[in-house]
Amino acid sequence: MISTALFVGIISAAYAQDEKQIKKTAEPGLRRNRFLQEMKSPEDRAKMSTEAMEKRLNLSPEQKDQVYAINLERAEKMEKLLKSEMEMRKSHMQKRKEIMTESEKKLNKILTQEQQKTMEDLKQRAQERMKKRLEQRPGIKKG
């Protein structure tokens, strides 16, 4: 149990070191949003984690190979998970857009021309307010 906790702690420390490297090299506006960062390959991330662990733990060559294999497996699984989450998010955004379009068409059938124009103006103002809020958030690149 203690050895498992120690191993998890070491992996976490190596991952934290990875995070520091990414934060140092990323543009300031991209630090907070990992989806927008150019991600390193699973092999590169596994290599970085393994090297950090090798320095801290003085791993033997055999241990280093085994640790690299574990780190690579983790990095590949994490990348696969991230990609599936991004695809799911994209799919949900498309479905939301379809629902909104369908709803607007139905509303336009029952609203007068003047009401439709007012609704479009309200929608435009809401989009402008959202844009302003996004621009005011720290870490969001303006433009």
Under DSSP, the state recorded for 39 is P
Which ranges of 2-60 does DSSP label H, i.e. alpha helix? 2-25, 42-57
Asked if residue 46 lies in contact with residue 53, where contact means CB atoms within 8 angstroms, the answer is no
Quick one: pLDDT at residue 11?
63
Under DSSP, the state recorded for 29 is G
pLDDT tens, the chain, 143 aa long: 555 555 555 665 555 554 444 444 444 444 444 543 467 899 999 999 999 999 999 999 999 999 999 999 999 999 999 999 999 999 999 999 999 999 999 999 999 999 999 999 999 999 999 999 999 887 655 54
Q: Determine whether 45 is exposed, middle or buried from the number of CB atoms within 10 Å of its CB (0-12, 13-18, 19+).
A: buried
Quick one: pLDDT at residue 140?
56
- Rounded-to-10 torsion of CA 110, 114, 115, 119: 130
Quick one: pLDDT at residue 52?
95
Cα 13 to Cα 71: distance, rounded to the nearest angstrom: 13
Helix, strand, or coil (residue 112) = coil
Distances (CA, A) of 79 to 8, 41, 95, 116, 134: 19, 9, 24, 45, 27
Cα 70 to Cα 75: distance, rounded to the nearest angstrom: 9
Quick one: pLDDT at residue 3?
57
Quick one: pLDDT at residue 6?
53
